[in-house]
Amino acid sequence: MTVPPEKTAVFICHCSGNISEHVDIKAVKKALKAEGISVFDYEYLCSSPGQDLIKNKIAEKALERVVIGSCTSSKHGLLFKKCVRDAGMNRAMLEIANLREQCAWVHPEKADATEKAITLLRGKLKRLGHVEPLQDIKVDISPHALVIGGGIAGITAALNLADNGVPTHLVEKDSSIGGQMAKIGKIFSPDKLAEECAMCSLSPLMNEVAAHPKITLLTRTEVEAVRGSVGNFTVTLRKKPGYVRDSCTACGRCSRVCPVLVENEFNCGHKDKTAISMRFSQSVPKTYSIDPDHCLQLNGKTCEKCAEACRAGAIDFWQQAEVLELNVGAVIAATGFKEYDASLKTQYGYGIFENVLTQMELARMLGINGPTKGKLVRLSDTCNLDAGNSSVGNSTTDSFNAPPNAFTNVPANDPTLNSSESSSDNENLSDPPVPGRIVMIQCVGSRDEKAGGIPYCSRYCCMAALKHASLIRKKYPDTEITICYIDMRAFGFYENYYRAVQDMGVSFVRGRPAEVVQKSDKSLIVRVEDTLNQKILELPADLVVLSAAMLPSSGTREIAGVLNVSQDETGFIKERHSKLKPVDSSVDGIFVCGTAQGPKDITDTIAQAGLAAARARAFIADSPKVLVHELASINQLTCTGCGDCLSCPFDALSFSESGRVVVDPLLCTGCGYCTEICEKGAVQVAGFTKSQLKAEIEGVLEAGDLLGFVNSGISSLTCDNIGNSVLSYPSNVKLVKVSTGLVVDKELIMHAFRHGAASVLFVEDPPDNPRAEVIFPLALRHFEKLKEELGADGSRLHFKKAYVPNTKGLAGTFTNLAREGEMIR
């Protein structure tokens, strides 16, 4: 459709100097006005006055097409679409040119950035000449929510949703909810100098979850797949068997007779539980479960001692895994963190010297339900404990048996032992001495640019060290504690806690230790330079405690792939915008909170979980919802009904009762696979038609340019992150967003070559989520086919996977290929 220039306008945002300081907006306006285009600029187009400007000009000039030059569409795209819709314009009549992340921020030379800005806007203007109005497709949102992860973040989010009337499924892969908070014993608050019992805060919430009529609790359950579309997610779950029925009374008889000791994840790997156990004594649900990897009976050996001891008849060795399917409207990922593997820093001797441990292991030691029942001991001294009194492990002939635990004679998670039994056993123990000197080393793995380290601050480590120093000094006032630090980070009201710990007599040395060495008596020496006094110190220690970094859990990395949401360069789930949408993921209807999103303490985790629940509830309440992604469309006049397109990998196309090919909007991902296989060209992806892409190519290209066809998913965000990371590449790199590379055919490639492209690069999402696992091999095969069809010109075609962490690598690829184009020019 031909639209007269006076019916089209361009609006340029200064973005508070982010754009205007790098792009000469006056020069841009002059160039476009010379082509008969109305151009308006404003300091903040995303503000209310900025949006009013757009609406008023649409009404005043009866505009039919609008181009906005601003930041990336992933930030304010929906806002601007709503703006033009409110002005009576169809959302298809709006195009957004990324003048910030893919222009101003990546081209340091103002002249280069200005010239490119003109081409980007010109490309969008030409593209608008070939658009057709898009029909809004509305879907009802399922009124149910899913929370993944049963730590304090997941518990808080689930309770907030349920209390507001949203039926919620809470999924936890372990046998009990509680997460990492259940391990740490004592917690601190910004407004208090005293430490509180973690379980006193956590346990009531756990029990509230179990009793809430709006919450379905699914433990030992993992998310296998998520299908469907925004507001209607079909989630496949796998619930692993616990081999114990719900009739379990948690009496503990089964655990006491079990002959197999196993490593206790809850106690940081100490062998102090049996193959049938609860995660900890306050577990919810309060039911025992069997570890299938270590149970004799489940591994083909005759035992059944637990079944014989169980008076409730709850043992069921024949339980099988269950596959469940849920339909939910919103998902919250609260999959937590894991502790950095301190053994990677070999200079500190973790995993080599017995008396080197992490803060989490110290937390378990100080916990009254920990491996030493709260006693502070040197790990090397625990060999003096009388292991002969162990009440478990009485079989000596089975290879599954482990030696009795060095810390305690009974399973630490057995809640049924009475005080007389415990004290009777402890009479036979030689009480090891309390460590007299403790050195804590901060930033182990954190703030470390060297191999094996991570660059960010883990936020909680300084306060964890202060908390444990406080607890130890209060209980053992003669213990000397030294904290070696780079910077002590006690933000806000935590500064009061920091001062209180200093007043207790805890010493602080500013410097990162070089090494820890062990003496013949198992004591340690910490060698460190005190950078304040400029002295080399050798600090004697009975225990060395490492404040290890906070990393995304394996569950976080896995669920990000299953949910098809973006991750940052370190593996945490990336929020859509750190200030405007701090709990929204890159996929509408999927939210993130707690340490699945990034390092934080319990206070911030709870606050963010509440926000995620509020956002999820608001999303569910906004039903019906307009689908924002573009779908395949069928030209019924051209379609021959051959059925080739029915091979859609997502089963989105089918024959209707009248024999026509129709598209299911809930299944279609807009990938463009159907456009490749339709020989008649009857199928195109709305918003990415061949005529639109041709027009944009004509507008952006100049001789010698590198043209990149960028997947609108992870790849597009990765390109944006190049600018966010203050990296650069040549200004003759021109990027055109496509649904996937499958919509780009030979005709488009040749069109690009005719209009000056020296080479063409396909930037595709990596196969690390369910959608991309299907599309990536199809896109790669399509690329190879194009190279073959192009013959000699095939050498000008390139392919690149765009991982979010690899922004520097992608910028390097742009630079290398662009320089080749400059030589051709």
Measured CA to CA, the distance from residue 783 to residue 575 in angstroms comes to 32
Mean pLDDT in consecutive groups of 10 residues from the start of the chain, 825 residues = 79 95 96 94 94 96 95 91 93 95 96 97 95 84 96 97 97 96 87 85 95 97 89 94 95 95 88 92 94 94 94 95 96 96 95 95 91 90 49 36 37 44 45 92 93 90 95 95 94 90 95 95 95 94 96 93 86 86 90 96 95 96 80 89 90 90 86 89 91 96 95 91 93 95 95 96 88 90 95 95 86 92 53
Percent helix, strand, coil in the chain, to 5, is 35, 20, 40
Task: Report yes or no on 288 lying in a domain.
Answer: yes
Per DSSP bridges, beta strands 705-711 and 683-685 are unpaired
Counts of helices then strands in the chain (DSSP H, E): 20, 38
Residue 693 lies in a domain: no
Q: Are residues 87 and 15 in the same domain?
A: yes
User: Looking at the structure, do residues 59 and 72 belong to the same domain, yes or no?
Assistant: yes
The whole-number pLDDT of residue 161 equals 97
Question: Do 315 and 349 belong together in one domain?
Answer: no
The conformation of residue 187, written as its DSSP 8-state character, comes to E
Residue 53 belongs to domain with CATH number: 3.40.50
**Structure tokens belonging to residue 358:** 């992490």
Q: Among candidates 632, 738, 710, 736, which has minimal Cα distance to 678?
A: 632
Q: Given this model, what pLDDT does residue 708 score?
A: 97
Cα–Cα distance between 422 and 431 in angstroms, integer?
14
Distance CA 337, CA 180 (A): 8
Q: Are residues 69 and 161 in the same domain?
A: no
Alpha-carbon span 290 to 318, nearest angstrom: 12
Return the CATH number at 613. Answer: 3.50.50.60
Structure tokens that stand for 271 in this block? 């062998």
Domain boundary among 586, 602, 621: 621
Same domain, 299 and 230: no
119 plus 227 within the same structural domain? no
Nearest to 507 by CA among 537, 535, 541, 484: 484
Residue 755 lies in a domain: no
Same domain, 493 and 506: yes
Token representation of residue 441:
């080393």
Residue 801 pairs in a beta bridge with 764
Give the list of residues 6+ apart from residue 106 with CB closer than 8 angstroms, or none.
Answer: 722, 723, 727, 728, 729, 811
8 A C-beta contact, residue 114 and residue 690: no
- The pTM (predicted TM-score) of the whole model is 0.81
Burial class (CB in 10 A: 0-12, 13-18, 19+), 308: exposed
Residue type, 96: I
Calculate ∠ Cα 273-277-281, nearest 5°: 90
Q: Does residue 60 lie within any of the structural domains?
A: yes
Same-domain status, 522 and 571: no
Q: Find tokens 């690829």 and name the residue.
A: 813
CA-to-CA dists, residue 699 to 7, 125, 292, 691, 821, angstroms = 19, 8, 63, 12, 18
Write the single-letter amino acid at 33.
K
Domain range for 266 is: 253-320
Q: What is the rounded CA–CA span in Å between residue 606 and residue 152?
A: 7
Q: Are 666 and 229 in contact (CB under 8 A)?
A: yes
Asked which of 549, 584, 606 is the last residue of a domain, the reply is 549
Is residue 194 included in any domain, yes or no?
yes
Classify burial at 724, counting beta carbons within 10 Å of its beta carbon; exposed 0-12, middle 13-18, buried 19 or more.
Answer: middle
Residue 696 belongs to some domain of the structure: no
The answer to whether the CB of 98 falls within 8 A of the CB of 71 is yes
User: Residue 152: enclosing H or E segment and its boundaries?
Assistant: helix 152-163
Answer whether residue 694 is part of any domain: no
Please indicate, yes or no, if residue 354 is contained in any of the structural domains. yes
Q: Distance between CA atoms of 29 and 805, rounded to whole angstroms?
A: 36
How many Å apart are CA 455 and CA 443, to the nearest integer?
A: 10
Q: Distance (Å, rounded) from C-alpha 149 to C-alpha 337?
A: 11
Q: Is 96 found in the same domain as 15?
A: yes
Number of domains in the chain: 5
Q: Does 272 share its domain with 182?
A: no
**Do 732 and 822 meet the contact criterion of CB atoms below 8 Å apart?**
yes
The two beta strands, 632-634 and 683-685, are: antiparallel
Looking at the fold, whether 479 and 613 belong to one and the same domain comes out as no
Residues 183 and 125 in one domain: no
d(CA 734, CA 102): 9
Query: Measuring CA to CA, how many Å separate 616 from each of 165, 231, 587, 589, 619?
Result: 12, 10, 12, 7, 5
Q: How far apart are CA 18 and CA 580, in angstroms?
A: 17
Helix axes 152-163, 602-621, angle to 10 degrees: 40
SS3 (DSSP) at 407: coil
**CB atoms closer than 10 angstroms to residue 83:** 25
DSSP helix/strand/coil, 102:
helix
Last residue of a domain, one of 529, 549, 569: 549
3-state secondary structure of 823: helix
